[in-house]
Amino acid sequence: MIRVLLSGCMGKMGHMLVEVIGAAPDMTVCLGVDSAVTPGTVSPYSFPVVASFDKADAEPDVIVDFSRPAALESLLDFAEARRTAVVLATTGYSDEQKARIDAAAARIPVFYSANMSPGVNLLCALVKKAAAFLGEDYDIEIVEAHHNKKIDAPSGTALMLAESAMSASSAATWTHCGRSGKNCPRQPGEIGIHAIRGGTVVGEHSVLFLGDNEVIELKHSAQSRAVFARGAVRAARFIVGVPAGKYDMSDLIGKD
């Protein structure tokens, strides 16, 4: 039985993960960690919950994190001290935090992806192929939409899609988030990224390739958080027992 420590257990994704893991015959949640927990909080789950990793008393096989970037340092300290595998599904990390993730991956297995949906990762592969084929004759714009409680913009997935395009085409070299003003013509190498926030939208991402007299659009729409929860569970199964290193969905898809 794989023992999971769930970071961000009180959030919407946390609740969804508890449901998905509860239905898995080979997994169980042994502890939840969430900064929303207060001294009087009664766990809504069958497992205990604590406010921070310095209060965590458990020996999990893997930590699955859907929380906030502020939790990263204490999470990795906990994981490194116990040589515990980690699945990071939080977005909005700074460059310094990404370097911290890389450093941890030298000591423990770290699965890191800005989006746990297999469909989104397929979209990244399609974007990469399209960018390589279409080249400088097409401008690239990315539009993403999320619910009104999302705290980071643009989304980690939008940035992941932009990175896919930039890795394949020398005509796409930098991102421009939002566009405002009277004198802001499109610049060479630019990928425009635009964020929409409202309602209860789970997540939508469109990548547009705009050429002379035609537009090619690649799109993914998530209709339930269960998509991301199931992807995270697959990642947790994969990461337990593998050597130290940094892994992502391409490793998981390749294994499958």
Active site residues: 146, 150
Q: Of 214, 216, 211, 212, which Cα lies nearest the Cα of 138?
A: 211
Mode of pairing for the β-strands spanning 139-146 and 203-211 = antiparallel
By DSSP bridging, strand 174-177 and strand 190-197 are: parallel
Q: How many CA atoms lie within 13 A of 99 on its CB side?
A: 3
Q: How far apart are the first and last CA of the chain?
A: 21
Return the half-sphere exposure (C-beta side, CA atoms, 13 A cut-off) of residue 172: 31
Give the Cα separation of 90 and 109 in Å (integer). 16
* Residues 228, 176 contacting (CB under 8 angstroms): no
